[in-house]
Every structure is written in C-alpha cells, then in structure tokens.
C-alpha cells in the first residue's frame, strides 16, 4: 500500500499544480479588471487555463533555451520530454 502511495505522489503534485493555476486565473479575473464578468464566464476561463497548462506540461514539460551572450541570439532550443 505504501508503494502505491509513493507512485501516486507525482500525480497528486501535478493535479495540485493545475488546480492552483486555475484558481490563480479565476481570482485574477474576478478582482483585477474594472468590468464585472459573469461567474460562469470566470469559471470557464479558469478551467480552460488549467486544461491548457496541463496539456502543455504533458507535451513539453521542460524546455531549455541556450542564448549566445555575444549578440543576444538564440543558439539552441532543446525540448526535453
């Protein structure tokens, strides 16, 4: 039983990260703009942002970009999956 709990911890961390991202977007949309949106619209935007973040995290979890310090150009962009 302890082994299955250890295997599920990374999944729980990712799910928590996605939910937290959605909540940050929801609270930002609710309290920052001067225009009041409907609660359904705010929840939909929060859900879309969480789903998009989850998809991007699954497709490209780590992107490493190396820059050339001499002329500020990108030399290499490695996507590690």
Is the per-residue pLDDT at 33 higher than 60? yes
Is the per-residue pLDDT at 64 higher than 70? no
Query: Beta partners for 64?
Result: 78
Kind plus residue range of the DSSP H or E element containing 41? helix 39-59
- Note if the pTM is more than 0.75: no
């Amino acid at each position: 039983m302890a082994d299955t709990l250890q295997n599920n911890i990374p999944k729980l961390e990712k799910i928590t990260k996605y939910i937290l991202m959605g909540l940050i977007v929801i609270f930002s949309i609710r309290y920052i703009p001067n225009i009041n949106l409907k609660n359904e619209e705010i929840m939909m935007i929060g859900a879309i942002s969480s789903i998009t973040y989850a998809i991007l995290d699954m497709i490209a979890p780590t992107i490493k970009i190396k820059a050339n310090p001499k002329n500020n150009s990108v030399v290499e962009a490695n996507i590690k999956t």
